[in-house]
Amino acid sequence: MNTEGLVEVVLPGKVEPEGLEIRHGAVPAAGAGQVVIRMEATGVSFAEQQMRRGRYYDQPPFPFVPGYDLVGTVQATGEGVDPHLAGTRVAALVKVGGWASHVRVDAADVVPVPDGIGAAEAETLVVNGITAWQMLHRKARVRAGQTVVVHGANGGVGSVLVQLARAAGAQVIGTASPRHHDALRERGVVPVDYRADDLAARIRALAPREGVHAVFDHVGGRGIVDSWRLLAPGGTLVSYGSAATRDAEGSKQWPVLKLLGRVWLWNALPNRRRACFFNVWAGRALARNRFRSRLRADLTQVFAALQRGEVTAQIAAQLPLARAAEALRLAESGTVAGKVVLNP
């Protein structure tokens, strides 16, 4: 008999972080093909910052439990699941539901965490690591000797992206606020102040004459046009968000649709450059098994890169689940480097 209770954080509607609610209940049981994970670490992503404003483009209706990813130990296995999975540490990408002491997921969606990697360390690399790996290697196919531009090079995804790009032998130009420039230089990145009025011109002065092989842009908005213009023939623009519209009002779909429209138009032009809008969930509905096998393969590669020292797990802060409001405020403040992690 399990005496532990379920503790979860609920987003009740469009609220300030202090409006998050703590709910108690019974620990869920594992159904057929499922496991119940006892959460050890979950994180605050940009997604939750948008969700509390009602601006994440496919968020569920309120109220719901946020939490994009988690790491924990399998506590129970359902019918048809290898019972040996119980007691192992795993990671899961869930989009919502991670901010809870116990989370039920399909067994096929969990990825083993190698021995020697802590829960909080692994947590910093689940959504950020998969996103960075897939954009770099599956979308832009970056090779040694190429030059890439990473916007927000100190951010959650950006910091992993620059390290993976350097490990692949690429030259990296990274935009960030000046206080992060020294840390970026230590990683072999050429930093540029993202607030500079002539940002595109500054990047162009640092880039090879024909342009760069790839630009990774999470900002969207008007700056996406500058990102496109930086590309060399054969280059790829990977757009993966619309941070520029985080605090905007109005339709949450419109910024994404506008981006998709631009991407479609650019790809229709005969200019030997490519643009894509990256969404980590793309392909899941149509080919779930392929999606799962890719996710497992890519996250396994990211964990291996961590073990080799090519990537560091940047933990900005660790706070208990009950202090989720504080964690969300901290993540939104823009004052920390790395991931804000929640523990049970």
* pLDDT at position 252: 67
Which residue, chain included where needed, has tokens 């890169």? 305
Task: Name the more confident of 3 and 282.
Answer: 282
Q: How far apart are CA 278 and CA 287, in angstroms?
A: 17
Q: Does residue 117 carry a pLDDT above 80?
A: yes
- The Cβ of residue 226 has, within 10 Å, a number of other Cβ atoms equal to 16
73 vs 242, which has greater pLDDT? 73
Of the two residues 180 and 253, the one the predictor is more confident about is 180
State what percent of residues in the chain have pLDDT above 70.
Answer: 97
Across the strands, what pairs with 69? Answer: 93
227-236 as b/e, with b when 16 or more CB fall inside 10 Å? bbebbbeebb
The candidate with the shortest Cα–Cα distance to 51, out of 80, 26, 19, 8, is 19
Contact 319, 326 (CB under 8 A): yes
Give the residue-averaged pLDDT of 315-334.
95
Chain segment 124-177, per-residue pLDDT in tens:
999 999 999 999 999 999 999 999 999 999 888 999 999 999 999 999 999 999
Binned at pLDDT 50, 70 and 90, residue 1 comes out as very low
Mean pLDDT of 298-318: 97
Q: Could you give the CA distance from residue 68 to residue 94 in angstroms, rounded to a whole number?
A: 5
Q: How many CB atoms lie within 10 A of CB 190?
A: 17
E strands within 12-68? 21-26, 34-44
b/e 109-132 (16+ beta carbons within 10 angstroms → b): bbbebeeebebbbbbbbbbbbbbb
Check residue 265 and give its pLDDT. Answer: 84
Question: How much is the average pLDDT of 277-289?
Answer: 92
* Model pLDDT for residues 13-60, shown as the tens digit of each residue: 999 999 999 999 999 999 999 999 999 999 999 899 999 999 888 899
Average pLDDT over residues 66-76: 98
In this prediction, residues 104-119 reach a mean pLDDT of 98
Which range has highest mean pLDDT (43-57, 135-149, 221-235, 247-261)?
A: 135-149
Cβ–Cβ < 8 Å for 186, 152: no
Angstrom distance (rounded) from CA 174 to CA 189: 6
To the question of pTM greater than 0.85 for the whole model, the response is yes
How many whole angstroms separate alpha carbon 312 and alpha carbon 230? Answer: 29
What is the C-alpha separation between 231 and 204, in angstroms, rounded?
10
Q: What is the pLDDT of residue 102?
A: 98
270 versus 196: the higher-pLDDT residue is: 196
Structure confidence at residue 245 (pLDDT): 56
Supply 235's token pair: 């280059």
What are the tens digits of pLDDT across the range 80-106?
999 999 999 999 999 999 999 999 999
What integer best gives the mean pLDDT of the chain?
A: 93
